[in-house]
Amino acid sequence: MKKEFREILREKNLTALPNVLLASAECAPLSKTGGLADVVGTLPKSLAKLGIDARVITPYHRVIKDKYADRVEHMFDFYCSLGWRQAYVGVEKLVLDGVTIYLIDNEQYFGDKIYRGGQAEGEQYAFFCRAVLDCIPNLDFTPQVLHCNDWHTAMLPMLAKTQYQGGMQAGLKFLLTIHNIAFQGKFGFDYVQDLLNVDSRYYTPEFMELNGCADFLKAGCVFADRINTVSPSYASEIKMPYYAEGLEGILNARSHELSGIINGIDKKVFNPHADKLLPATYDRGHLKGKAVCKAALQERMGLEQRPDMPLVAMVTRMTEQKGFDLVACILDDIMQHEDIQFMLLGSGDERFENFMRAAEYRYKGRLCAYIGYSEELSHLVYAASDFFLMPSRFEPCGLSQMISMRYGTVPVVRQTGGLADSVEPYNRYTGEGTGFGFLNFNAHELLFTTQEACRLYTESPVAWGNLAAQGMAKDFSWRASALEYRKLYRGLFT
Ligand code: ADP
């Protein structure tokens, strides 16, 4: 019988660190639709520096095949059971920046979009979970921890513990990281049972049932050994019904096994001192380059050349989560009463996109709405702007506010989740802080806080400069987060 990893460590008096396999639907730079990809792509590199062999297992999506096919090594293949179906599983390997990434290949499931949407997405990731568990014993790597991320991989602990007894899979320790509790993977139980042979005794509120659905994320919350989220504040918030989307019961019950670790940002990618995507670089003591960037953005986007006018920016998904409904409420107020420019780079809900297109027409020369996704332009926007708006309804962690601080752009945020943990509100008496914050999800609070920020910029340039410099001095590197993850992994064995 296999000995528990903890016993082995104790016997050998080792302080060895566990091997970790991160399972995720996306992984930067291979495949990315959001912050999850950044975490999974960057964390293993920082863990390696702390002595942990962390590898990634992720689908071999079309976008990866198109770009990396000639660098990928075929390891082995087999057929796995998906209910009554037999599905091909190719296991490929790619080493990128020193990180080993295992890619699960199947044209039917991963030959098109990263997320197929609806029921099809349930089948897509049910397959992925099954393929991961079936292939693990044959990898050239023996993980002790399987680190699952969001609902797409949240079924792994339940399947391992209920269907792989006696196998090495059941002996693994499972960490589930919730990057966004709003997405839970809810499907009819019959559908899930047909795909994954889940015993109907698990279809109860005690296990995976929620509001008449089989809920993948709930199953993960029940069966994972530990749960964490991407900021300490969000870890507290998701115990409340307002944020928990129905999972408050299980999360309160497992409160002592739930924690939060804030993400970092890639300091090499986001570095105003050496950013090749900028027309001029700068750092804390030498801000001339920031003014050059502002002029370049104004020129490129058809905004008036006004170095003195505060430039307020957003780089965002245009959704209610990001507080776009608040922005829509106050935009006319702020454009009509304040002497400011507004730069939006984003895409999302059609109604918000149309609203911003119309606003651009109304405020020609002072407002630019660039509807679309552009990594390159985003760097210029972060560097060129004076303020960055992020009035999120909820924000598990948020990277944009950290990026903007790094570029000396002062964030104006709603103090929720990771925004509350990373932005220290300005104290006008002591001058301390790194941004502006408001508490309630309320359009007027956003309006007044933005006005306060603009006033500081125009009336007290020295105070504003100090505030921006304090933000730039903050350390948002991955090292601190990786240290916390290392502690969490080790904690799984004590
Ligand atoms: P979320 O993952 O919830 O969308 P985050 O703040 O955690 O929000 O991460 C968003 C990331 O995506 C940031 O790096 C941001 O710069 C980038 N981003 C969002 N929208 C765009 C866009 N339209 N163009 C370029 N980058 C974008």
Q: Which residues contact 66 (CB under 8 A, 6 or more apart)?
A: none
- Which residues, judged by CB distance below 6 Å to any ligand atom, belong to the binding site of ligand 1? 34-35, 315-317, 345-347, 373-375, 378, 397-400, 403
**Identity (one letter) of the amino acid at 101?**
I
pLDDT at position 13 over 50: no
Side-chain-facing half-sphere of 253: CA atoms under 13 Å: 10
Radius of gyration of the chain (CA): 24
Ligand 1 atom, smallest distance to 317 CA: 20
pLDDT at position 184 over 90: yes
User: In whole angstroms, what is the distance from residue 103 CA to residue 60 CA?
Assistant: 5
177 Cα: distance to centroid of ligand 1 (angstroms):
19
User: Any idea what DSSP says for residue 399?
Assistant: S
Sign of the alpha-carbon torsion through 465, 466, 467, 468: positive
Could you report the per-residue pLDDT of 117-169, keeping only the tens digit for each? Answer: 999 999 999 999 999 999 999 999 999 999 999 999 999 999 999 999 999 99
User: In whole angstroms, what is the distance from residue 219 CA to residue 199 CA?
Assistant: 13
Could you report the per-residue pLDDT of 55-71, keeping only the tens digit for each? Answer: 999 999 999 999 999 99
Tokens of 277: 């995507």
Going through 328-376 in order, the beta strands assigned E by DSSP cover: 341-348, 367-371
Could you report the per-residue pLDDT of 236-246, keeping only the tens digit for each? Answer: 999 999 999 99
Residue-level pLDDT at 206: 96
Among 399, 414, 419, name the best residue to mutate to test ligand 1's pocket (greatest count of ligand atoms within 8 A of Cβ): 399
Give the ranges where 188-345 is alpha helix by DSSP (H): 189-196, 216-223, 232-237, 241-244, 248-253, 288-301, 324-337
Give Cα 144 distance to the centre of its chain. 24
User: In whole angstroms, what is the distance from residue 301 CA to residue 304 CA?
Assistant: 9
Query: For tokens 């776009």, what's the residue?
Result: 324
Could you report the per-residue pLDDT of 96-125, keeping only the tens digit for each? Answer: 999 999 999 999 999 999 999 999 999 999
Query: What 3-state class would DSSP assign to 211?
Result: coil
User: In whole angstroms, what is the distance from residue 485 CA to residue 494 CA?
Assistant: 15
Ligand 1 atom, smallest distance to 382 CA: 16
Query: For tokens 């990057």, what's the residue?
Result: 179
CA dihedral 280, 281, 283, 289 (to 10 degrees): 0
- The closest alpha carbon to 387, from 415, 410, 408, 403, belongs to 410
- The closest alpha carbon to 219, from 288, 160, 268, belongs to 160
- Exposed e or buried b per residue across 388-406, where buried means at least 16 C-beta atoms within 10 angstroms of its C-beta: bbbbbbbbbbbbbbbbbbb
Residue-level pLDDT at 72: 98
438 Cα: distance to centroid of ligand 1 (angstroms):
21
Residue-level pLDDT at 494: 84
- The closest alpha carbon to 156, from 184, 118, 130, belongs to 130
Query: For tokens 């000396």, what's the residue?
Result: 408
User: Any idea what DSSP says for residue 338?
Assistant: S
Could you report the per-residue pLDDT of 432-472, keeping only the tens digit for each? Answer: 999 999 999 999 999 999 999 999 999 999 999 999 999 99
